[in-house]
Amino acid sequence: MLQSFISCVLHLLDVGTVAAMHPRGQAFEHRFLFLHHHHLRLNSFSSRCLSFSRTVKTLSTDLVSCGCSSSPDTTSTETSNGSQPPPSASTYHFRQPDPSISMNLATPSRTLPKSNYHHSIASASTGRLDSAAPALYESALHQDLENGHQSTNIPNFAHPHHAIPPRSFDGVDNLIIVCCHAIFHPNASSPSFPLSTPYDERNWHLAPFQKSDPRTGKPGEHETFLSHISAGLDVLAIGSWADTSILVLSGGVTKKTLTSLSEARSYYNAALAQALSEGHKHGGRVRKLFDDGRILLEEHATDSFQNLLFSILLFWRTTGAYPKRIRVITHAFKAKRFLDLHAPAIRWPVDRIRVQGIDPAMSSVEYDDTVKGEERFGYGLWREDPLGVGEALDRKRKQRGWDKGIAQKLSDGLERSVKQLLNGEVTNVLPWTESITSTVVK
C-alpha cells in the first residue's frame, strides 16, 4: 500500500522530468528518496504515512515556488499533423528564484543524525554544503521524529555533578606499622624511575653500619627494609587482617642535608619501583592500596617511640577512631623496646600490640654486636627516658631533623591528655585506653 502511494506521488509530481528540466531538480529527487528512506524506519505505519504526506506537500509547494514553468516557446512551429512538438529542456523558461526562499536542499539537517547515506546522496548532487543556510525540511522532520517516537518536551540534558564519595573505613580497626630506617632516593617522577631497582644499594642513603661489606659477605640492610615493606603489604592484602587494616609507613625527613624526601615516602617509592620491576603496570597492588587509602604515610617520626605514637594519631585522623589492635613490623631485636617500653609509656594495652620482627642476615659476631648495641643505645636509653625527652634521646631527634613545632601541629583537635603526651608529659588516662576497654567490656 505504501509503495503504491509513493508511485502515485512520483507520477503526479513527475520528479524525474523536473530533474531533467531544473538544475536543482536532482537535489529534490534525492531529498525525496532520502526522506522515504528514513520514513521506512519509523515505529508506526500510521505515523509514517502522516509525516510522509506532510513532507510531500512541502516538497510540492517548494517545486512550484522555485520558478519551474513548463510553458513552451510561442515561436515554436507545428508538426505536420498540427500538434505541438514535445518540449525540450531548452524550450522551458525559469523564473529567478525568490532570494527569501531557502533553496539549499543539500544542507545537512541539524536535528537528525547525519548518516553516510545523507552525505553520499545529497551532497553529491550539488558538490558542496552550505552550513549557513537552514535546512528546508528541518521542522517537518523534527515533527516527524516526535510523532514516531512519542517524545515531546524533552528537556535539555544537564550533566550531573559527580561528587566523589568519601572513603569508607567501616570495619577497619587494625593498624599495621612499618618502621622506616633509611631513604630510597631515586626520583619517582623521572622517566627512568622504573629502571631504579630498590635492590641496588646505590639507590639508598644508608648509614655506615647499614651498608654491605664485601670482605665479610655482609649484605646491605636495604634488603631487610624491602622485606619489611613486603611483610606489611602481605598483612594488608592477605590473611586474617586483610579487610580490617590500614598500613602506615612511618618515618620523617631524617637526612635533610641529602634530600627533602621522607623515609615514609621513599619506602612507598621503593615499593612502587619493586612492583614495576616485577612487571606490574602502574604499580600493581601498591598503587591501588595507596589510592584506596589503605596505605598512609606518616612523615614526621624520628625514632621508634614516635613511629608508634604518630601512626596511632594518623589512624585516628583518617578513620575517626583509634585502632583496636596494632602490629609493628621492624627489626626483631627491637621487639622488647616496643612491647616492654613504648606501649606502656603511652598506656597502650599490652595485649593489643604485637611485633613482627625481621632481622638482617647476621653472623654470630654480628648478632652479638647488634644485641649489645641495642641494649646500650636503644633499649637502655628508653628504659631511663620512656618519653624520649631527656638529653640523649632529644639530641638524637634533633640530629634527625626533629622540630618541636611539629608536635603542636599534630596536637590540633586532639584530646587534652594526648596533647600532654606529645609535649612529653606523663598522663595515666588516654582516650584509646578508655575506648578499647569499653569495647572489650561490650
Residue 308 pLDDT greater than 90, yes or no:
yes
Could you tell me the three cell numbers for 240?
Answer: 586474617
pLDDT confidence of residue 408? 87
Residue 74 pLDDT greater than 50, yes or no:
no
pLDDT confidence of residue 64? 58
Q: d(Cα 310, Cα 90) in Å, to the nearest integer?
A: 98
Burial of residue 338 (CB within 10 Å: 0-12, 13-18, 19+) is: buried
Buried b (16+ CB within 10 A) or exposed e, 163-192: eeeeeebeebbbbbbbbbbbbbbbebeeee
205 versus 116: the higher-pLDDT residue is 205
pLDDT in tens, 53-68: 777 677 666 655 655 5
147 versus 432: the higher-pLDDT residue is 432
Q: What is the CA radius of gyration of the chain?
A: 42
pLDDT (mean) for 386-403: 95
pLDDT in tens, 267-288: 999 999 999 988 888 889 999 9
Residue 175 pLDDT greater than 60, yes or no:
yes
pLDDT in tens, 116-148: 444 444 444 444 444 444 444 444 444 444 455
Residue 109 pLDDT greater than 50, yes or no:
no
pLDDT confidence of residue 31? 55
118 versus 51: the higher-pLDDT residue is 51
Q: At what angle do helices 263-277 and 284-291 cross, to 10 degrees?
A: 140
Q: Find out whether 312 and 322 touch, Cβ atoms under 8 Å.
A: yes
pLDDT (mean) for 21-46: 52
pTM over 0.85: no
Average pLDDT, rounded, for the chain: 78
Q: Return left, alpha or beta for 237; rule: phi > 0 is left, psi -120 to 50 is alpha, else beta.
A: alpha
User: What does each C-alpha distance from 61 to 7, 14, 91, 273 come to in angstroms?
Assistant: 19, 14, 23, 74
Buried b (16+ CB within 10 A) or exposed e, 407-435: beebbeebbebbbebbeeeeeeebbbbee
pLDDT in tens, 362-373: 999 999 999 999
Place of cell 515531546: 152
Phi and psi for 177 in degrees, rounded to 5?
-115, 125
Domain spans in the chain, listed from the N-terminal domain onward? 2-66+102-146, 174-441
Residue 219 pLDDT greater than 70, yes or no:
yes
pLDDT confidence of residue 104? 46
pLDDT (mean) for 307-322: 96
As a whole-number percent, the residues of the chain with pLDDT over 70 amount to 62
Residue 30 pLDDT greater than 60, yes or no:
no
